[in-house]
């Protein structure tokens, strides 16, 4: 409300709350909607008045992320993609695909069979491994990385597909 008053306009909290609750904004007050959009834009969220009114047009976007570096893009992707998690490799178990200290975005889905012939992050009774998973039969898999490891499916706690690797 302070920003609107600085622009020599008037809008009460009651009126604004009513606009938000029922969505009926008088056409003669569109100038106030444009000032609200200006407030968001000045604070890093690119919004237009029409989007506030009807939800039509381009959705809001952060202008501060207009120029992304790789690290920021990677973190934003891990937060925005559905069913994924960001992990950092804390050992040599990802070689040759992922090195110590690098980050991966992995699926939160832990099924084994759909990941056949995919690069996977596998947590088992034998430790952590990253490699290409090959389903051998109903009881076992082979994980190919720097070594070829055979694991019993019953010993696998998690089998997650690696979706994205950030190389350093």
pLDDT, one tens digit per residue, over 141-150 is 999 998 999 9
Structural domains of the chain, with CATH: 2-65 (no CATH), 70-166 (2.10.109.10)
CB within 8 Å of 77: residues ≥ 6 apart: 105, 164
- Using a cut of 0.75, tell me whether the model's pTM lies above it: no
**Choice between 10 and 85, residue whose per-residue pLDDT is larger:** 85
Ordered DSSP codes for 125-157:
TTEEEEEEEEE-SSSEEEEESSSEEEEEGGGEE
pLDDT digits (tens, 9 = 90+) for 64-76: 555 666 777 777 7
If one counts every other C-beta atom within 10 angstroms of the C-beta of residue 143, the result is 22
Tokens linked to 86: 């960001």
Helix (H), strand (E) counts: the chain: 5, 9
- Output the CA–CA distances (angstroms, integers) from residue 34 to 7, 14, 41, 121, in the order listed: 11, 19, 10, 49
pLDDT digits (tens, 9 = 90+) for 92-137: 988 999 999 888 989 988 899 999 999 999 999 999 999 999 999 9
Quote the pLDDT of residue 155. Answer: 96
């Amino acid at each position: 409300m302070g920003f609107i008053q600085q622009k020599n306009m008037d809008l009460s909290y009651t009126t604004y709350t009513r606009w938000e609750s029922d969505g009926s904004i008088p056409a003669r007050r569109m100038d106030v909607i444009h000032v609200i959009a200006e407030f968001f834009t000045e604070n890093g969220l690119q919004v237009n008045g029409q989007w506030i009114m009807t939800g039509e047009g381009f959705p809001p976007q952060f202008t501060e992320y207009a120029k992304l570096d790789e690290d920021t893009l990677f973190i934003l992707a891990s937060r925005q993609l559905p069913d994924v998690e960001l992990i950092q490799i804390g050992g040599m178990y990802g070689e040759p695909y992922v090195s110590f200290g690098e980050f991966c975005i992995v699926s939160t889905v832990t099924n084994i069979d759909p990941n056949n012939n995919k690069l996977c992050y596998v947590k088992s009774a034998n430790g952590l491994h990253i490699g290409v998973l090959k389903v051998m039969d109903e009881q076992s898999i082979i994980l190919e990385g720097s070594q070829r490891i055979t694991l019993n499916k019953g010993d696998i706690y998690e089998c997650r597909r690696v979706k994205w690797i950030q190389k350093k």
